[in-house]
A and B are shown apart, each in its own frame.
Chain A
Amino acid sequence: MKGNEALAEAAIMAGCRFYFGYPITPQTEIAAYMSKRMPKIGGTFLQAESEIAAINMVIGVASTGKRVMTSSSSPGISLKSEGLSYLAGCDLPALVVNCQRGGPGLGGIQPSQSDYFHATRGAGHGDFRMIVLAPSSVQEMVSLTFKGFDLADKYRMTSMILADGTVGQMMEPVSLDLGEVTDYEKPWATTGTEMKREHNIVNSLCLQPEELEDQNIARFARYAEIEKNEAMYESYRMDDADLCVVAFGIASRVAKNAVDTARANGVKVGMIRPVTLWPFPKDAIAAAADSCKAFVSVEMSMGQMIEDIELAERCRRPVLLCSRVGGMIPTERNILDTIEEARKTGGAE
């Protein structure tokens, strides 16, 4: 299946019956697929008049506790930023997909990872986080979408699938064997009181500063739980490594090849692939800094994740950047060159 279609089917299997979106390359297949599938299963597909309208429709359905999603690509995700902040302020679960393309501005239509900061830091105004999942294959478009809905419900917050144009467009064989959907109690949902309980109110407005402070503190206590329990990563050939490549999403597919080639040439290099970008797998990076002399951050941005690596390892080891931008994917040669540079810089074997 194509990445975007596989993601859409996984969302349906996760129980999502509401999709609101607006077309934009390279994620339009998600909307196209939903438009064909949702009517057949009693779900709702709606092409909104804009990205902003779509995210506000998501807020509406999320308030009722139903699984709901929207998807877009970078410029469209910028438009949704206000809604992402409101979702956080209302403590609502939702799944938002960003199939990234090059920016800033209208940028281009080719794949990119340059919305890392937006997803992990600045998705909108106010103090809040989103769970950010970064698929590197069509199979992970499926498994992380399933996981994303689960985490969103579990912690009452937005999960973002931070994909890119390549993972969205490419085709790979995929298994849709995903296991059972966990049903979470949602006593806060606005489903009608039937005159048997007090009204549930979903709202992000809080004019009393003491209350607003309490809400923020409570939210961040939840975030601390997530940082403790939900960080996901893949460790590849790290056992005896004295250099560590860090890469996520499609860039990690190329990086893996580069690690194999460098290993074949006797360089002791491994890779840590963050699967969750927030929470960032800080402990794994910190542990790698104990044994590795240097890091290489492979990114399709001007160097955004590199800051998280430096923070996680407390700047104990140098972190070199291997980056291609504007829709370019780093080549194995690009990565091998930076590994070689890191070997010299870090004094590794």
Chain B
Amino acid sequence: MTATERVTLFAGHYGSGKTNVAVNYAVALSRSGPTAIADLDIVNPYFRTKDAEKVLKENGIRLIASDYAESNVDLPALPADAYSLIDDRSVKAVIDVGGDDRGALALGRYAPGIKAENDYRMLLVVNMYRPLTSTPEDCAVIMRETQQAAGIDFTGIVNNSNLGEETTADDVLRSAEFANGLSKLTGLPVVMTAVEKSVAPRLEGRIENIFPIEVYVRQGIDR
């Protein structure tokens, strides 16, 4: 599932599951070499890559996050060492971009370096079960706004359609048509369908490019 490009960027609508997909992707990448993940989400201080610090540490993944992440200081500050990801070409880099166009704006300052190296994938994470992104047309609007703000065009789609813990195999199957519709509309390939790992086996052979994921970033209230 992991690609050969050195830098993989995940962006999309806020709440689409970017951060969780990015963490899972970094874990998968880390099996084949040094990996780092950067949290550039400066919009919502409630959910951060840092929430998954334990799993990142266990897998030897370097986390680059703002000094203010998880400090509850509501400051839109970027991590100072994010440039090292662009400069140090010996590591595989995963970049968790902020939600929507506002969040992606922060990527703009790193975009020239990423484009100059030209060894990246810019992936649009979509969840059709989220409001404002339930149709390919709505997603395409967010896609255009986001890439304009980011300064990097998308190269692929990650279908992360889910209903949280209540997601069934049928829910994922239903989303395939939506993802293909978005693919047709934008000309971008669906590079993976992220599925919670307990659901993934039931989709074997029914959907291409399944990426089984664990839910690392969440707030538990009920048991």
- Give every chain A residue within 8 A of B164 (Cβ-Cβ): 171-173
Measured CA separation A108–B100 after assembly (Å): 25
B221 CB-CB contact with A under 8 Å: yes
Task: Give CA–CA (A109, B43) in the complex, Å.
Answer: 13
Cross-chain contact A257 with B47 (CB below 8 angstroms): no
Which residues on the A side are within 8 Å of B45 (C-beta)?
Answer: 25, 109
Contact of B219 among A9, A33, A170, A327 (CB under 8 A): A170
Contact status A26-B46, CB under 8 Å = yes
Q: Are B72 and A1 in contact (CB under 8 A)?
A: no
Which A residue's beta carbon lies closest to that of B15? A2
Known contacts A33-B132, A173-B164; decide if A25 and B46 are in contact (CB<8 Å): yes
Give which listed residue, A2, A6, A253, contacts B222 with CB less than 8 A: A253
Question: Taking the complex as formed, is A302 at the interface, i.e. its CB lies under 8 A from any CB of chain B?
Answer: no
Number of cross-chain contacts by CB at 8 Å: 48
Tell whether A279 is near chain B: CB-to-CB under 8 Å: no
A166 contacts chain B at the CB level, 8 A cutoff: yes
Taking a contact as CB atoms under 8 Å apart, the answer to whether B46 and A173 are in contact is: no
Q: Are A171 and B72 in contact (CB under 8 A)?
A: no
Question: In whole angstroms, what is the CA distance A32 to B14 when docked?
Answer: 11
Residues in B with CB closer than 8 Å to A169 are 44, 46-47, 219
Q: Which residues of chain B are near A37, meaning CB under 8 Å?
A: 132
Q: Which residue of chain B has the shortest Cβ distance to A326 in the bound complex? A: B72
Q: Check A109/B72 contact, CB under 8 A, given A169-B47, A253-B221, A254-B221.
A: yes
B222 and A9 within 8 A (CB)? no
For the complex, is A153 an interface residue (Cβ under 8 Å from B)?
no
B8-42 interface bits toward A, Cβ cutoff 8 Å, 1 = contact, 0 = none: 00000011000000000000000000000000000
Per-residue 0/1 for B110-138: is the Cβ within 8 Å of any A Cβ (1 yes, 0 no)? 00000000000000000000111000000
B163 within 8 A of A: yes
B82-107 CB contacts (< 8 Å) to partner A: 100
A33→B131 contact, CB < 8 A: yes
Complex Cα–Cα for A6 and B129 (A): 13
A109-B45, A172-B164 known; A1+B221 contact, CB < 8 A: no
* B166 at interface by CB-CB < 8 Å: yes
- How many angstroms from the CA of A323 to the CA of B222 in the assembled complex? 19
Question: Which residues on B sit within 8 Å (CB–CB) of A313?
Answer: none
Q: Which range contains the number of B residues in contact with the other chain?
A: 10 to 19
* Proximity string of chain A (154-174) to chain B, C-beta cutoff 8 Å, 1 when within and 0 when not: 000000000001100111110
CB < 8 Å: which of B46, B163, B166, B223 contacts A257?
B223
User: Chain A contacts of B72 at CB under 8 A?
Assistant: 108-110, 327
- In Å, the complex CA distance between A169 and B221 comes to 12
Taking CB atoms, residues of chain B closer than 8 Å to A110 are: 72
Check: B208 CB closer than 8 A to any chain A CB.
no
B74 at the interface (CB under 8 A from A): yes
Within 8 A of B (CB), among A107-141: 108-110
Residues of B within 8 A of A2 (CB): 15
Does A5 interact with chain B (Cβ within 8 Å)? Answer: yes
B221 and A166 within 8 A (CB) = yes
Per-position contact with B for A162-206: 1 when CB-CB < 8 Å, else 0? 000110011111000000000000000000000000000000000
A166 and B222 contacting across the interface, CB-CB below 8 Å? no
CB-CB under 8 A from B221, the residues of chain A are 166, 170, 250, 253-254
Given contacts A25-B45, A36-B132, contact A173 B219 (CB under 8 A): no
- Measured in the bound complex, the distance between the Cα atoms of B166 and A303 in whole Å is 35
- State whether A173 and B163 are in contact (beta carbons under 8 Å apart), knowing that A2-B15, A165-B46, A257-B222 are contacts in the complex: yes
Q: Which of B156-178 contact A (CB under 8 A)?
A: 163-164, 166
What B residues does A165 contact at CB under 8 A?
Answer: 46
- In the assembled complex, the Cα of A147 lies from the Cα of B32 at a distance in Å of 54
Cβ–Cβ < 8 Å partners of A253 in chain B: 221-222
Chain B residue at minimum C-beta to C-beta distance from A1: B131
C-alpha spacing A166/B219, complex, angstroms? 9
What mask results when residues 40 to 61 of chain B are scored 1 for a CB within 8 Å of chain A, else 0? Answer: 0000111100000000000000
In the complex, what distance in Å separates the CA atom of A257 from the CA atom of B220? 12
Q: CB-nearest residue of chain B relative to A5? A: B131
List chain A residues, Cβ under 8 A from B163: 173
Give chain B residues whose Cβ lies under 8 Å from the Cβ of A29: 14
Docked Cα-Cα span, A9 to B134, in Å, equals: 14
Cα distance A253–B221 when bound, in Å?
7
CA A327 to CA B71, docked complex, whole Å: 12
Q: Which residue of A lies closest to B130 (CB)?
A: A1
Offer 7 A-B interface pairs, CB within 8 angstroms, sorted by A. Answer: A1-B131, A9-B131, A26-B46, A32-B100, A166-B221, A169-B44, A254-B221
Q: Which residues from chain B sit less than 8 Å from chain A, CB to CB?
A: 14-15, 44-47, 72, 74, 100, 130-132, 163-164, 166, 219, 221-223
Sample of 10 more A-B contacts, CB < 8 Å, known A29-B14, A165-B46, A253-B222 = A1-B131, A2-B15, A5-B132, A6-B131, A32-B100, A33-B132, A169-B44, A169-B219, A173-B164, A254-B221
The 10 A-B residue pairs with the shortest CB-CB distance, nearest first, are A169-B46, A253-B221, A173-B163, A109-B74, A25-B74, A173-B166, A5-B131, A108-B72, A109-B72, A2-B15
